Structure 1
Amino acid sequence: MLVRLLGLGLLAYGVFMLTSRQAKAALSANYDAMPEADAAVDVVARTIWGEARGEGATGMQAVANVISNRVANPGWWGRGWVGVCQAPYQFSAWNANDPNLVKLATVTTADPSFAAAVEIATAAVNGGLDDITGGATHYHTVNIHPAWADELTVTAQIGRHVFYA
């Protein structure tokens, strides 16, 4: 059972406790030991799983498309697969205060939606993923309307996400 220890920023899974800072450090250490392409697939998979695991394969593909479109057009949102995914405040699952960060560090391919995310990420990193978002570089859930959305053009709505270019 997941318990949030208020004021301490700790998440507990039974007796195993991990702070979001420790989670990110553990992931970074793993990436340092991996070939660059493997690290890219892992970071993209964790990003799309953290952002859209409840949206199924199509929703995760759409988030992967946004990442791919950003990688193809580097800018303020980062450079390269890892840089784009982990740029500050771009994908909320990587934010230090987001409970998804600890989940990102602990999920494995035993989780069917993460296994699907790995397949989608592999296709994206290898250039074999069709863009179903119409070139989107941004998205948000249907529950919100951020100010930046007014400056962009809607390209698609896929599941509970609206996509923009």
Structure 2
Amino acid sequence: MNATDKDRDVLARTLWGEARGEGLDGQIAAAWTIRNRVFDGKAKSWWGEGYAGVCLKPWQFSCWNQNDPNYAYLSGAKPIPAAQFAQAQKAADMVMSGAVPDPTGGATHYYATTMPKPPAWAAGAKETLRLGHHIFFKDVP
């Protein structure tokens, strides 16, 4: 799969929207969950095609929901702080190029521990990593 400039931009915006407070390691982990969806081994994936397709799949990454406070930044209506976006771009580049190993152990899902309660899907999934304010999972039913 050849990633495009749009893939890189959408991935970096997603990382900023989902994990800007987690530091580079947390953003790398979030990026790997997206990469694991991109390369799920299916010819026509439910997740979407390419990084942009996976990130923009409706209701998968809440930062892209139009009612989310991050959406104004991700859509370009408000500017993302340059230093924060540069870090998200760095994480996106590192993961897209394969320069860093997957710290999530193959996770395709995560949720923020700041949520009032875990999502229903987490009950039957295998936890692979706790990092910062996120818990990562694979084998989600």
Given the two structures, how large is their TM-score scaled by the length of structure 2?
0.85
User: What residue number does 2:64 align with?
Assistant: 94
Q: Aligned-residue CA RMSD in angstroms?
A: 1.7
Structure with the larger RCO, 1 or 2 (CA within 8 Å, 6+ apart):
2
Compute the displacement of 1:37 (Å): 1.5
Q: What do the CA deviations read for 1:23-79 (whole angstroms, capped 9, x no partner)?
A: xxxxxxxxxxxxx62111100000001000011111111110101100011532222
Name which one, 1 or 2, has greater alpha-carbon Rg: 1
* 1:111 matched residue in structure 2: 82
How far does the alpha carbon of each residue in 1:74-111 deviate from its partner, in whole angstroms, 9 at most, with x for none? Answer: 53222211100000000011111111011122335x52
Q: Aligned equivalents of 1:52 and 1:66: distance in 2?
A: 12
What does residue 48 of structure 2 align with?
78
Among 89, 92, 107, the residue aligned to 1:121? 92
Alignment pair present for 1:159 and 2:132: yes
- Map 1:26-65 to 2 at 5 A: 37-65=4-32
**What secondary structure is seen at the aligned counterpart in 1 of 2:35?**
helix
Residue 62 of structure 1 aligns to which amino acid in structure 2? Answer: A
| More strand by percentage | 1
Structure 2, unmatched stretches of 5+, are: none
Deviation readout 1:119-158 (Å, 9 max, x if unpaired): 1111222232321111100000113311000121000001
Cα distance in 2 for residues equivalent to 1:147 and 1:86: 22
Same amino acid, percent of matched pairs: 47
CA distance in 1, matches of 2:91, 2:79: 16
1:141 aligns with 2:112: yes
Could you list the structure 1 runs, at least 4 aligned residues long, displaced by more than 3 angstroms after superposition: none
